[in-house]
Amino acid sequence: MRATRFLMPTLRDAPADAQALSHQLLVRAGFVRQIGAGLYSYLPLGWRVHRRVEQIIREEIDRIGGQEMLMPVLHPAELWKRTGRYAIPELFKLTDRVGRELVLSMTHEEIIALHAAEAIRSYRDLPQIWYHIQIKERDEPRPQAGVLRTREFIMKDSYTLDRDAAGLDAGYALHEQAYDRIFRRSGIRFYKVESDVGMMGGSGAHEYMAPSPAGEDRVALCDGCDYAANVEMAVAVPRAAEAPTGAPLEEVATPGVTTIAALAAFLGIDEALTAKSVIVVPADEQGGVVLAVVRGDHRLHDLKLTKAIGAPHRPATPEEIRAAFGADPGSIGAVGIPDGAVREVIVDREIERGGYVVGANRTDHHLRGAELGRDYAARVADIRHAEDGERCVHCGGTLRIEPMIEVGNIFKLGVRYSAAMGALFLDEEGREQPVWMGSYGIGPARILASAVEQFADDRGIVWPQALAPFDVWIVPIGDDARAAADDLERALTAVGLDVMVDDRDLSPGVRFADAELVGVPLRLTIGKKLATDGVIELKHRATGEGETLTLAAAPAHLRALVDQAMAW
RNA sequence: CGGGGCGUAGCGCAGCCUGGUAGCGCACGCGCUUUGGGAGCGCGAGGCCGUCAGUUCGAAUCUGACCGCCCCGACCA
């Protein structure tokens, strides 16, 4: 490929609205261009990388027996109504000219189940692994960080179809193997972490996470063992608090004290000896408010509480709190709640035992020594936020919490979709059974962006060899070098390398800078030393190290370097 | 959806407060020079100043509405 004929609009300055490093560099280096909020075109450089990622994924899903197919983006709305997903706010909905309702799909469980309903008749037809690499549409409330969170993106999604839970486990395990190979081959740093199965149920899920400051997820990692979990799931041992039991319940006046910090200061005690009450209003038909209680120095985790309640929720307003408890916010507690004031009390398991200072449900008063069981009843659940620096429940090591980009996920769906769509088969006893499904996603653009985030330096992108848009970038300097560059390009192409020759009539400095910005791993400079010493120069983008070699030696040497860089 | 910010040439920005013929850097075209780390000189092209409506003799500039984009939060099955 010749730079003079290649669309590669590099910029000296990044657009002002690009925040994430990957966003800035991908635009600056000419890989992508923004069309609208969360909408991007991939220019030739970007698309080359994307296709390399896709190809790795394709090879590895094929290796575990996946069958590639292609399903439409536009679906009849009726299918989504059947599975109850039509109400998802992120689902794009539209009508055609005669008023038929359609959706732009965000995943393909419905279609897969539909095909299964038609094609799978017997246990003899199972198992199956079907996948495609297709555009997905999501009406994101807030697209951000360049290509990391977009409204339209390409996703590999595969689906396993099995006769029972054991079969699903096997299909899941195959995907664990495939995903491990995919991310290792991509060259990015990643973790496999425990993840929430979400409101849709399901029996198990993991996410594949690439550490990056631009990541939207938070993952707890143990330095002593391989425990890794999304904070939505993470459990940790908090710092110990000596909350004595057996003391009588005692009311204390706490005038003007409405925060935990003020309460602890007023009483001269550790915040960990208090209990924090949070009142929320679930968004379901049942009505009423829920009182959630965590230790005073802990944070409530919204998603954990959502799971505990079984519905999303919002904070109660001060008026709602006064109406239910007859006391101001800041003096609310689980002891002595007026009859019918709440539909449920949920306390975090860290304060299941011990006596704590709680709100007295009387403005400007608290209670000392409140104990679960003796003084009040509640359901116990894990609803607190695990914190950086807390100890691992498995090994006692130290947990740290890092931002990460979700690059893939694997999910045991069970029979939810197959049952809704009538994907049934006959087992060996002739009984009708629903197909057991799993779904497995990967976002190639996120792998691409993660690589930029993880390896870029102050000169630009540094691609892992496996993802680079070109393997080799040749900079010929001087007229004599042009012919040599042509010969070298042919020779390198002949050994299977992707080669860019920067034949632009620009100063060497500009071309070196562009080569570094674009991030191709190997750069060859053809200059004066060819005439004087018969050699050209090779420079490694990642390390900056250089060496010289002869034209004749270049093809075999570079081929070996590329192979070595992609070995794993 | 709540809060904040920004829309002027391909990119980065100034001009707006205080209304009067739209500018700078980079990039781009032509010529000459230059050729191992973002070259020099000269000439040149490129803008419905987001849109619409007001105010005014006159609007990039003042007012209003709308649209778009970014950030924080909410949301993200």
Complex-level ipTM: 0.90
Position A50 pLDDT exceeds 70: yes
Position A200 pLDDT exceeds 70: no
- A5 CB inside 7 Å of strand B: no
- Per-residue pLDDT tens for A144-174? 889 999 999 999 999 999 999 999 999 999 9
- A417 CB inside 7 Å of strand B: no
Please tell me which residue lies nearest to nucleotide B34, judged from CA to C1': A507
Q: Which of residues 302-331 of A touch strand B (CB under 7 A)?
A: 302-303, 312
Please tell me which residue lies nearest to nucleotide B13, judged from CA to C1': A16
Nearest to A531 by CA among A476, A490, A494, A492: A476
Q: Alpha-carbon distance A73 to A108, whole Å? A: 9
Q: Contact A399/A443 with Cβ under 8 angstroms?
A: no
Residue type, A224: G
Average pLDDT over every residue of A220-224: 92
- A385 CB inside 7 Å of strand B: no
Q: Alpha-carbon distance A413 to A201, whole Å? A: 7
Q: Alpha-carbon distance A320 to A70, whole Å? A: 51
Coil vs helix vs strand at A420: helix
User: What is the DSSP-derived secondary structure letter of residue A177?
Assistant: H
Structure-token pair, residue A378: 């509640």
CA-to-C1' span, A497 to B34 (A):
34
- Per-residue pLDDT tens for A6-15? 999 999 888 8
- A516 CB inside 7 Å of strand B: yes
Structure-token pair, residue A468: 């680079």
Ordered domains of chain A (ranges, CATH)? 3-234+401-453 (3.30.930.10), 250-381 (3.90.960.10), 470-566 (3.40.50.800)
Q: Alpha-carbon distance A504 to A513, whole Å? A: 13
∠A67-A563-A463 over CA atoms, to 5°?
A: 80
| pLDDT at residue number A97 | 86
Average pLDDT over every residue of A84-89: 88
- A38 CB inside 7 Å of strand B: yes
Structure-token pair, residue A542: 């990642």
Confidence grade of residue A240 (pLDDT, cut at 50, 70, 90): confident
Burial class (CB in 10 A: 0-12, 13-18, 19+), A543: exposed
Confidence grade of residue A542 (pLDDT, cut at 50, 70, 90): very high
Q: Taking phi first (over 0 means left), then psi (-120 to 50 degrees means alpha), and beta for anything else, what does residue A30 get? A: left
Query: H or E stretch including A228?
Result: strand A228-230
Region of poorest pLDDT, from A85-89, A161-165, A252-256, A404-408: A252-256
Scan for tokens 């536009």, then name that residue.
A74
Q: Alpha-carbon distance A69 to A493, whole Å? A: 31
CB atoms within 10 A of CB A179: 24
Structure-token pair, residue A281: 């209003």
Structure-token pair, residue A501: 């020759």
Nearest to A50 by CA among A31, A64, A69: A31
Position A224 pLDDT exceeds 80: yes
Q: Which of residues 423-452 of A touch strand B (CB under 7 A)?
A: none
| pLDDT at residue number A198 | 67
Position A493 pLDDT exceeds 80: yes
Confidence grade of residue A199 (pLDDT, cut at 50, 70, 90): low
